Amino acid sequence: MEGRQRDILPDILKGFGIIMVVLGHCIQSGSGLAFLENACYFEDKWYQFIYSFHMPLFMIISGYYAWNSVQRAADSEAKKTMIRKKCIYLITPNVGWKLIEFVYMFATDNYIYWGFGVFLKDLIFGILTNFWFLWAILYSFLLVCLMHYRLRDSIWIYIVIFVAMFFTPDGMALNAYKYMMPYYLLGFYANKNKTWL
């Protein structure tokens, strides 16, 4: 086989993570309405086990692959193109899903329409809060690009940013982003420095 051989371990870990996400959501939503409404799934041992690692695992893998993207962008134009494509790639599912959701809600008369301004606000807020993990990946990716391209991967600046994040409000899933970012950075720098491993 010519060229580089694909490292299949991250693919195996992604597959395992996907199975765990599906199982975790089945425990949460597939155990009856009373179980879901009373948040009884928090007491389920399998649920606790799965949710203790599945999102950090995805963030580590995402960070691991981000290093390849960052490394391939050699000049200024390539960097801008790569960042723009990553933004489009990660934001498109949020926009698409929210539009599908609104079409469904309008079609089934489950949406109270108070005017275009309210609709636009609901749409933008929904896009910014849907799929929090995609936003966590995007924000982490933009941070590593800034740190790598402009600030020479300064560990001290990372520490300052990480500590400062604990003083930011937790609205709009910001609490999820700040806890996921270290895992993303772990994957990013593990790939960058994999000669150490």
Amino acid at 92: T
pLDDT for 8: 85
Domain tally, the chain: 1
* Distance from the Cα of residue 35 to its chain's centroid: 27
CB-based contacts of 173-176 (< 8 A; 24+ apart in sequence) = 173/129, 173/132, 173/135, 173/136, 176/132, 176/133, 176/136
Asked whether residue 44 is assigned to any structural domain, the reply reads no
Asked whether residue 84 is assigned to any structural domain, the reply reads yes
Asked whether residue 38 is assigned to any structural domain, the reply reads no
pLDDT for 1: 45
CB 62 within 8 A of CB 143: no
**Per residue in 75-117, pLDDT tens?**
999 999 999 999 999 999 989 998 888 888 777 776 666 667 7
Find the domain containing 132 and state its range.
75-192
Q: Which residue has the higher pLDDT, 95 or 120?
A: 95
- For the segment 139-151, the average pLDDT, to the nearest whole number, is 92
Asked whether residue 197 is assigned to any structural domain, the reply reads no
Residue 171 to residue 197: CA distance in whole angstroms: 38
